[in-house]
Chain A
Amino acid sequence: MNLVRSEFLKIRTTNAWWLFGLGAFAMLALTFLVNALGAYYALSEPTPEGLNPDDAATFEATRDVVYQAANLYTSGQFFGLLFVLLLGIVVITSEFQHQTVTTTFLSTPHRTAVILAKLVAAALAGAGYWLVTTALNIPATIIFLSTQDVSNQLGEWPVLRSILLNLLAYVLWGVLGVGFGVLIRSQIGATVTAVALYLLGTAAGAIFFTLFANWLDADWISDLQYGLPSIASGLMVSGTNIPGQPVFWVGAVVLVGWSVLTGTIGTLITRTRDIS
């Protein structure tokens, strides 16, 4: 417990957490606007004519109030998770950047305990981001839905489930960040790689698997993109099942898998590494 407190104090006594928070807030405002706009059209416009049956089914599903409400309540997730990832990375790489890792391992020679404390601290920080994001999303969504003459939908289990699974996503991305930071110790290197992988990798992965699936005419290949952590997080918080997508809990399983994997590899590496 002392260790987690100490790790949390490390986060609190430097600037990264509120700078990233500011970034997450700005992106939250932006994505909420975009989501609200999307919801406005989806809820008011009829399904366009002339779509093929598959697309029409997808479109129909997104017109569902529950789907839109879940989407709005979890606004800002894509970029919020990116900032949580970065914070997780900084939690570990700043120790190497500023050579404080020496002091840290002198206070606690049991390195596994240090990494575990960092994982917990990053996860808690992620939960903090979720708390603030959600505290802003809930009133904003309620206001928006009421302008559309729709009730707040908070009584719907899929909506609540999305909000709670969104918490899980924020927590796990903190863990992912620490695991990633152990693998690439250079702060600049790790941050740039993470941002590039997150933004470009997500898009590239989605396009790659979709094209590949079309080419081979095998739908299961398209589903492989949900193995990417960022796409998995989005899937996890979808309020309703969109045709052609795996079920929400597949996303949760994938994300937990990634977190366990990076956390374990990171811990094992750190245990034996020379600090000089």
Chain B
Amino acid sequence: MSDGQIVVSGLTKHYKNVRAVDNLSFTVEPGRVTGFLGPNGAGKTTTLRMLLNLVKPTAGTATIGGQRYADLKDPLRTVGAVLEASSAHKGRTGINHLRVICGAAGFPRQRADEVMATVGLTPAAKRKFKGYSLGMRQRLGIAAALLGDPQVLVLDEPANGLDPEGIRWMRDLLKALAAQGRTVLVSSHLLSEMQLLADDLVIIAAGKLVRQGTVTQVMDSMAHSAQVRVRTPQVEELTSALTALKATVTPNGEGALMVAGIDAPGVGRAALKAGVELHELTLERPDLERVFLELTAGKAAIR
């Protein structure tokens, strides 16, 4: 049963006047990096906290390998979580922070030194946490998550505050962990980063599921929003030919026209029929950011 699949089913959390998470269901598969996306305030953090037994759901369940977090026999050996970068005592050294966790979980002390080396923090191990940069804090958080060599990793906005090199390091680490067959669930609002990192996507907005699937599936589901970029010296003729076919044409301000509602061969055929000369004809797939913005548009982040 401990395959490390995460199953969220009907998960709901009401705060006084807000449905932070609203009947949310999705699954996260092992061996893949799953991006958990949503605008700020969409309920990502609340969902992760319910998964980890830190917040009590109003309704629904969240299980890891078939078990609720609270029922796991050895939680840190099953799940490693990085929830916020600043979660260590300011006056405690990094290595002591890890030793405290080792103590509580019954891991040997050396484990702290090992993970410190894994995340490249050994030189700063004996420095106090308040002297750590944001990037070092993230690394310490990841070190703590790796202590129990867990099958499942849950990370909330891990790229926050990392410099480009740190982001690259994190991406490589998470991909490597997923390649070892582990489940990796990463929440983020950094879409470009997710496009490089994630295999699967779970997109939520206003506490509800918007899309779930592989990155390609999610992008394809938005294929209708693909546009065709076209350049022509005869703008007016082409515009009238295309609008006759119920396509919408908008100048992109750089001398080209953006055409929606018709595919690229359709534009070419219409141009040939109208005897219009074409200088460029390109299908523009929407990037993740556009898809994301379209999917979550109108679901106000501030509720």
**Residues of A participating in the B interface, judged by any CB pair closer than 8 Å:** 2-3, 5-6, 9-10, 13-15, 94, 98-100, 102-110, 272, 274-276
Residue of B nearest to A275 (CB): B54
- Complex-state Cα separation, A102 to B83, whole angstroms: 8
Q: Can you sample 26 A-B contacts with CB below 8 Å? A: A2-B103, A5-B103, A6-B101, A9-B96, A10-B92, A10-B100, A13-B89, A13-B96, A13-B99, A14-B89, A94-B89, A98-B87, A98-B89, A99-B84, A102-B54, A103-B144, A104-B104, A106-B54, A106-B81, A107-B76, A107-B105, A108-B105, A109-B53, A109-B70, A275-B55, A276-B49
**Residues of B participating in the A interface, judged by any CB pair closer than 8 Å:** 45-46, 49, 52-56, 69-70, 72, 75-76, 79, 81, 83-84, 86-93, 96-97, 99-101, 103-106, 144
Q: Known: A103-B101, A105-B53, A274-B56. Is A13-B93 also a contact (CB below 8 A)?
A: yes
Check A274 against B55 for contact (C-beta < 8 Å). Answer: yes
- Complex-state Cα separation, A148 to B194, whole angstroms: 80
In the bound complex, residues from chain B placing their C-beta under 8 Å from that of A103 are 87-88, 101, 144
Smallest Cβ distance from A227 to chain B, in angstroms?
36
- Complex-state Cα separation, A103 to B81, whole angstroms: 9
Interface centre among B53, B69, B88, B104 (most CB of A within 10 A): B104
Residue of A nearest to B93 (CB): A13
In the bound complex, residues from chain B placing their C-beta under 8 Å from that of A99 are 84, 86-87
- Complex-state Cα separation, A276 to B91, whole angstroms: 22
Q: Known: A100-B88, A275-B49, A276-B46. Is A109-B75 also a contact (CB below 8 A)?
A: yes
Check A13 against B92 for contact (C-beta < 8 Å). Answer: yes
Residue of B nearest to A94 (CB): B89
- Complex-state Cα separation, A103 to B147, whole angstroms: 12
Among A3, A94, A100, A105, point to the contact of B54 (Cβ < 8 A): A105
In the bound complex, residues from chain A placing their C-beta under 8 Å from that of B83 are 102
- Complex-state Cα separation, A211 to B117, whole angstroms: 66
In the bound complex, residues from chain B placing their C-beta under 8 Å from that of A102 are 54, 83-84, 87
Check A15 against B56 for contact (C-beta < 8 Å). Answer: no
- Complex-state Cα separation, A98 to B52, whole angstroms: 19
Check A107 against B87 for contact (C-beta < 8 Å). Answer: no
- Complex-state Cα separation, A13 to B103, whole angstroms: 13
- Complex-state Cα separation, A5 to B96, whole angstroms: 13
In the bound complex, residues from chain A placing their C-beta under 8 Å from that of B45 are 276
Check B91 against A2 for contact (C-beta < 8 Å). Answer: no
Check B55 against A276 for contact (C-beta < 8 Å). Answer: yes
Smallest Cβ distance from B40 to chain A, in angstroms?
15
- Complex-state Cα separation, A119 to B100, whole angstroms: 17
- Complex-state Cα separation, A9 to B112, whole angstroms: 14
- Complex-state Cα separation, A157 to B297, whole angstroms: 79
Q: Known: A94-B89, A100-B87. Is A276-B106 also a contact (CB below 8 A)?
A: no
Smallest Cβ distance from B210 to chain A, in angstroms?
23
- Complex-state Cα separation, A102 to B141, whole angstroms: 12
In the bound complex, residues from chain A placing their C-beta under 8 Å from that of B56 are 272, 274
Smallest Cβ distance from A182 to chain B, in angstroms?
16
- Complex-state Cα separation, A107 to B49, whole angstroms: 14
Residue of A nearest to B106 (CB): A2
Q: Known: A9-B96, A13-B92. Is A274-B54 also a contact (CB below 8 A)?
A: yes
Q: Which 7 A-B pairs have the closest CB atoms?
A: A6-B103, A6-B104, A13-B96, A107-B104, A275-B54, A99-B87, A109-B70
Residue of A nearest to B89 (CB): A98
Among A9, A15, A272, point to the contact of B103 (Cβ < 8 A): A9
In the bound complex, residues from chain A placing their C-beta under 8 Å from that of B52 are 106
In the bound complex, residues from chain A placing their C-beta under 8 Å from that of B70 are 109-110
Smallest Cβ distance from B83 to chain A, in angstroms?
5
Q: Known: A5-B103, A13-B100, A276-B55. Is A109-B72 also a contact (CB below 8 A)?
A: yes
Residue of A nearest to B49 (CB): A276
In the bound complex, residues from chain A placing their C-beta under 8 Å from that of B69 are 109
- Complex-state Cα separation, A274 to B99, whole angstroms: 26
Give me 7 other A-B pairs in contact (C-beta within 8 A), A6-B101, A100-B87, A106-B76 excluded. Answer: A14-B89, A98-B86, A103-B101, A107-B105, A109-B53, A272-B56, A274-B56
Smallest Cβ distance from A204 to chain B, in angstroms?
34
In the bound complex, residues from chain B placing their C-beta under 8 Å from that of A274 are 49, 54-56
Among A2, A13, A15, A272, point to the contact of B105 (Cβ < 8 A): A2
In the bound complex, residues from chain A placing their C-beta under 8 Å from that of B79 are 106
Smallest Cβ distance from A18 to chain B, in angstroms?
12
In the bound complex, residues from chain A placing their C-beta under 8 Å from that of B89 are 10, 13-14, 94, 98, 100
In the bound complex, residues from chain B placing their C-beta under 8 Å from that of A5 are 103
Smallest Cβ distance from A151 to chain B, in angstroms?
47
- Complex-state Cα separation, A102 to B96, whole angstroms: 17
Check B88 against A98 for contact (C-beta < 8 Å). Answer: yes
- Complex-state Cα separation, A121 to B238, whole angstroms: 80
